[in-house]
Structure 1
Amino acid sequence: MTEGRKKALNLLKTSKGQIEGIIRMIENDRYCVDISKQILAVQALLKKANLNIIDQHIKHCVKEAILKGEGDEKIDEIINILDRYVK
């Protein structure tokens, strides 16, 4: 497992714990703004995890495909992901 994937995995595990905490907050009828802040924090962790995965993909899979002269498909994949990311 690459370092980027390890980082993404840790971020996802942290997100999982935070989501479980958010569920408890809702079940305990906590203040809406506090719940919303926690949801935003989880979204930030998920974005960071996704960027780590994309970074690894570019540095390894895309780079390898380009060196083999087969990079067009991988570049299109990245463009599609970025298009989703900015929406």
Structure 2
Amino acid sequence: MAGYTHNKQDHLRRLRRVEGQVRGLQRMVEDDKYCIDILTQVSAATSALQSFALSLLEEHLAHCVAEATVKGGPEAEAKIKEASDAIARLVRS
């Protein structure tokens, strides 16, 4: 079971909201809206995705990584490395 399963509906709701924001951006470009207004909405969509990513990462650490560290061994090391790599990708983006 995925670590986010208990919050799956909340996550889907958040992603649908982001999807709506991106569709709104498309409409803004189609309608030749002012550049700064579009950039403001890009910032909002980006923040929403980052917030979602951090929430998902927190659940991954609390569930998948914590469970693997209890078991120990190579699986724990792999999960910690995987989480570390994911954090690095988030920080770079």
What is the TM-score normalised by the length of structure 2? 0.86
> Retained in 2: the 8 A contact 1:18–1:38?
yes
Q: Which runs of 5+ in 1 are unaligned?
A: none
For the aligned residues, what is the CA RMSD? 1.1
Name the CA distance, whole Å, in 2 between partners of 1:9 and 1:48: 13
Of residues 58, 61, 86, the one that matches 1:81 is: 86
**Which residue identity does 1:75 align to in structure 2?**
I
Of structures 1 and 2, the one scoring higher in RCO (CA 8 A, sep 6+) is: 1
Match of residue 42 from structure 1: 45
Percent identity between the aligned chains? 36
Q: Which runs of 5+ in 2 are unaligned?
A: none
Match of residue 55 from structure 2: 52
2:64 pairs with 1:61: yes
Name the CA distance, whole Å, in 2 between partners of 1:74 and 1:9: 25
**Which residue identity does 1:48 align to in structure 2?**
S
- Larger deviation, residues 23-32 vs 6-15: 6-15
**Which residue identity does 2:37 align to in structure 1?**
D
